[in-house]
Amino acid sequence: MQPPPPQHKSKTRIFPVVLGRLAVAGLLGLAILSCLIWAGMVAVPRHLNPFAPLHIADEVNWLTRIKLSRLEGDGSQCLAVLENSDVSYKPIADRRSDDGCGLSNAVEIAGASRAVSRSFTASCPLAVAWAMFDEHVVGPAARRHLGQDVARMIHAGTYACRNINHRAQGRRSEHATANAIDIAGFVLADGREVDVKRDWEGEDQRRAAFLRAVRDGACRFFDVVLSPDYNEAHHDHFHFDMGSYRACR
């Protein structure tokens, strides 16, 4: 009687086991590394440290949005970010409202590295996102496409107790809690103005490219970015907000 043939483990069974063990080992190593970074035993650059507070001047990476999202639930940390920047601001007292138009952890912004057409009220997370947009997007895009810097941003308002698209019924706009800002144009260093309404589809390709770079760059910081590509209601401005939805149009 012949002995039974030797049993061989199927490669299809071994492969998932190996992958599973590698995944567990990787997760364990990541957890240990995170603990060492948190304890300060492993030094990493601030912008690559998930536990380090956000700084507006930090290099932007995949951690930036995570750090921005944390500020929505931490008012004191959000104000600390503004305090460690060149943003000119002052806190505004909370304002309760039964109509969905209250203010919480809001500030009044007067300017940053680029001035604004007039001061505006903003939720603190919106103010931080705007300051990072100003620092990392507006200036670099203007120098790349227009050969000069932006002297001033022209905004069309932030705080307005209204519904979306001014409708009589429906959901409150992010503007109702100063959690949104509309940008109509930019004044360049030489005094010329780049206007969203005129230049988005205008003859000057450099200005059009600048505006699209601004729109695309804004999506790195704001939760919702709407441009003339979105609908007719935004044919003359950009809408940026820090609401509960995500859109880049």
Task: Write out pLDDT tens, residues 85-141.
Answer: 999 999 999 999 889 999 999 999 988 878 888 999 999 999 999 999 999 999 999
- The mean pLDDT value of the chain amounts to 88
What per-residue confidence (pLDDT) applies to 165? 84
d(CA 217, CA 60): 11
What per-residue confidence (pLDDT) applies to 33? 46
What per-residue confidence (pLDDT) applies to 162? 94
Better-predicted residue by pLDDT, 2 or 199: 199
Residue 161, pLDDT above cutoff 90: yes
Q: What percent of the chain has pLDDT over 70?
A: 83
Q: What is the pLDDT confidence band of residue 29, given thresholds at 50, 70 and 90?
A: low
pTM (2 decimals)? 0.84
What per-residue confidence (pLDDT) applies to 27? 58
What per-residue confidence (pLDDT) applies to 10? 57
Across 31-35, 99-103, 184-188, the highest mean pLDDT is recorded for: 184-188
Q: What are phi and psi of 135, to 5 degrees?
A: -75, -45
Residue range 23-40: average pLDDT?
56
Q: What is the pLDDT confidence band of residue 28, given thresholds at 50, 70 and 90?
A: low
Q: At what angle do helices 62-71 and 75-83 cross, to 10 degrees?
A: 120
> What is the b/e burial string over 91-130, where b = at least 16 CB atoms within 10 angstroms of the residue's CB?
ebeeeeeeeebebebbbbbebbbbebeeebbbbbbbbbbb
d(CA 164, CA 191): 34
Q: What is the pLDDT confidence band of residue 180, given thresholds at 50, 70 and 90?
A: very high
Q: What are phi and psi of 188, to 5 degrees?
A: -80, 170
Residue range 59-66: average pLDDT?
94
What per-residue confidence (pLDDT) applies to 142? 97
Q: What is the pLDDT confidence band of residue 231, given thresholds at 50, 70 and 90?
A: very high
Residue range 204-216: average pLDDT?
98
Residue range 147-171: average pLDDT?
92
Q: DSSP label at 173?
A: P
Residue range 185-211: average pLDDT?
97
Q: At what angle do helices 62-71 and 124-133 cross, to 10 degrees?
A: 150
Across 50-59, 66-75, 212-221, the highest mean pLDDT is recorded for: 212-221
Amino acid at 134: D
